[in-house]
Amino acid sequence: MSKLTIHLLAPEDKNKWPDVWHHCFSIFQKLPYKIKMWGDNDIDEILSKDDKEFLDILNTLPPIYKLDYVRYLILEKTLIKNWMIQCGNLFQ
């Protein structure tokens, strides 16, 4: 079975992180899981591939709207995809 992945949304520049994020990240790094950091460029890329016009709309709104929506896309494209690969034959 593959290693589980923790998906985190955060600026690439760790100097922009609040102190508590550094503390949490150091804890996550000690866990036996992979960590996937989703920075601003990664977020825009996945949103652009999903729906470029909707990304343009999201960019006019407060950033939390974009972050909340991309969480769903990450869930859809990673967790559900991995689940289907591992369990797909059960439903055929």
The angle formed by the CA atoms of residues 20, 16 and 63, to the nearest 5 degrees, is: 95
Structure tokens at 68: 């909340």
Q: Tell me the residue range of the domain where 33 lies.
A: 5-91
Give this prediction's pTM: 0.76
pLDDT in tens, 25-73: 999 999 998 999 999 999 999 999 999 999 999 999 999 999 999 999 9
| C-alpha dist (Å) from residue 4 to 32, 61, 63, 83 | 8, 32, 28, 12
Taking a C-beta distance cutoff of 8 angstroms, is the pair 6, 79 a contact? no
Confidence band for 77, pLDDT divided at 50, 70 and 90: confident
Total tally of structural domains belonging to the chain:
1
pLDDT in tens, 1-36: 457 888 999 999 999 999 999 999 999 999 998 999
